[in-house]
Amino acid sequence: MKCGYPLLVNNMNEIIKEKEKIKKQMANNNQITTGKNTGIKNKGIKSIKNKKNFPPKKVSLNFVNNMNINKKVKKSSSLLGLNQKSKRNKNIRNVNKKNINRNIISNNNFAKNKTFGNLNTKPKFNNNKNINIKLSYNDYELNTFDYRNAVLYDKRSCCQYYLSLLKEKNPIIFSFCPRKDYNSMIIKTCIFSLSFSIYYAANFAFFNDEIMHEIYETGGKYDIMLFIPKIVISFAASYYITTIIKIIFLSERNIVQVRRQLTPSLAYTISDKEKRNLVIKHIIFFVLGLIFLVFFWMLLSSFGAVYPNTQMFIFKNTLISFAMSLVYPFFINILPSIFRMCSLRSTNGECAYKISKFLQLL
pLDDT tens column, 5-47: 888 888 888 888 888 888 888 888 877 766 655 554 454 444 4
Q: Is residue 22 part of a domain?
A: no
Q: Is residue 331 part of a domain?
A: yes
Percent of the chain with pLDDT over 70: 72
Of 48 and 299, more confident: 299
The residue among 101, 127, 153 that closes a domain is: 127
- Record the pTM: 0.69
The answer to whether 147 and 350 have CB atoms below 8 angstroms apart is: yes
DSSP-assigned letters across all residues of 196-212: HHHHHHHHHHT--HHHH
Q: Is the pLDDT of residue 221 over 90?
A: no
What value does the mean pLDDT of the chain take? 78
Mean pLDDT of 289-304: 92
Q: Which of 226, 234, 156 is nearest to 195 (CA)?
A: 234
Looking at the structure, tell me whether residues 87 and 231 fall in a common domain: no
Looking at the structure, tell me whether residues 119 and 251 fall in a common domain: no
The residue among 93, 127, 161 that closes a domain is: 127
Classify the phi-psi angles of 117: left when phi > 0, otherwise alpha if psi is within -120 to 50, otherwise beta.
Answer: left
Least confident of 21-35, 218-232, 240-254, 317-331: 21-35
Looking at the structure, tell me whether residues 174 and 271 fall in a common domain: yes
Q: What is the span of the domain harbouring residue 233? A: 137-359
Least confident of 28-32, 109-113, 135-139, 196-200: 109-113
Query: Where does 54-123 have alpha helices with state H?
Result: 57-77, 82-116
Q: Is residue 89 part of a domain?
A: yes
Residues near 205 by beta carbon (within 8 Å), at least 6 away in sequence: 234
Q: Is residue 320 part of a domain?
A: yes
* Segment 233-260, tens digit of pLDDT: 999 999 999 999 999 999 999 999 998 8
The residue among 73, 97, 127 that closes a domain is: 127
